[in-house]
Structure 1
Amino acid sequence: MKRRLFTLIPYMVGLTIIFYMLPLLIRDTGSGMFILLLVIPVLTFICSITYGIKQGFDLLFSFAVAILFVPTILIYYNLSAWIYIIVYALISLAGNGIGKIFHKRKQR
């Protein structure tokens, strides 16, 4: 379990930067929607695929993505952004699953 948590750290640092620094670039509603609906999901998906390729499928990763995003709602957004917790967790789950496919091929 300790090793499993240790493998999450670099990815969680990357996602922390994505979730907490990108909203600083929001200047108006358009840029906010662009970041919230396109940039963050794409970067989360890429990070999840990378994790899946290197570590295999892990539900803990998607759970950590969801938990990591929660404070950003209170810091940058309003309560209507709660749905993005589920959206980003599902995107992470999909990316992790796709990465797992390549993880199996890598092991052969």
Structure 2
Amino acid sequence: MMDKLKKNMVFYLLLLIDFYIVPWFIKNTGSAMIVMLVIIPLICLITSVFYGIRNGFNFWYILIVAIMFAPSIFIFYNSSAWVYVVGYAVIALLGNLIALPLGKR
């Protein structure tokens, strides 16, 4: 388990940057919409595709993405952002599914 965590640490670090550093660039409602609806989901999707290419489909990764995002709601957003927990889990799922035909054989 620990070896797998170390092997995939770069993916988790990218997600931490995505969920906890990128929101610092939100200055107003317009930038919030771009960050929340374009930049963060795009980084999550790309990271998830590369994770899937390297590791294949992984339900636990999808769950980890949702869990990693959840605390950011209390830091950057309000209670209406809970829907994004599900949204980013779905994006991680899509990324994993996109990667299925591209993954290692």
Using the size of structure 2 for normalisation, the TM-score is 0.94
Aligned letter for 1:57? F
Q: Which residue of 1 aligns with 2:55?
A: 55
Q: Which residue of 2 aligns with 1:67?
A: 67
Percent identity among equivalent residues? 41
- Which runs of 4 or more aligned residues in structure 1 lie more than 4 Å from their structure 2 counterparts after TM superposition? none
CA offset at residue 8 of structure 1? 3.0
Q: Is the partner of 1:27 in helix, strand or coil?
A: coil
Structure 2 unpaired stretches of 5+? none
Partner deviation per Cα, 1:6-30 (whole Å, 9 max, x = no partner): 3332101011011101110000001
Q: State the number of aligned residues.
A: 105
Partner deviation per Cα, 1:72-104 (whole Å, 9 max, x = no partner): 10000000000000000000011011112211x
Q: Which residue of 1 aligns with 2:14?
A: 14
Aligned letter for 2:97? G
Work out the CA distance in 1 between the residues paired with 2:21 and 2:2. Answer: 28
Partner deviation per Cα, 1:32-62 (whole Å, 9 max, x = no partner): 0110011100110000000011111111111
Work out the CA distance in 2 between the residues paired with 1:81 and 1:89. Answer: 13
Aligned letter for 1:72? S
Residues 1-108 of structure 1: matches in 2 within 5 Å? 1-103=1-103, 106-107=104-105
Work out the CA distance in 1 between the residues paired with 2:87 and 2:12. Answer: 17
CA offset at residue 3 of structure 1? 2.9
Coordinate RMSD, CA, aligned: 1.1
Aligned letter for 2:15? L
Aligned letter for 1:51? Y
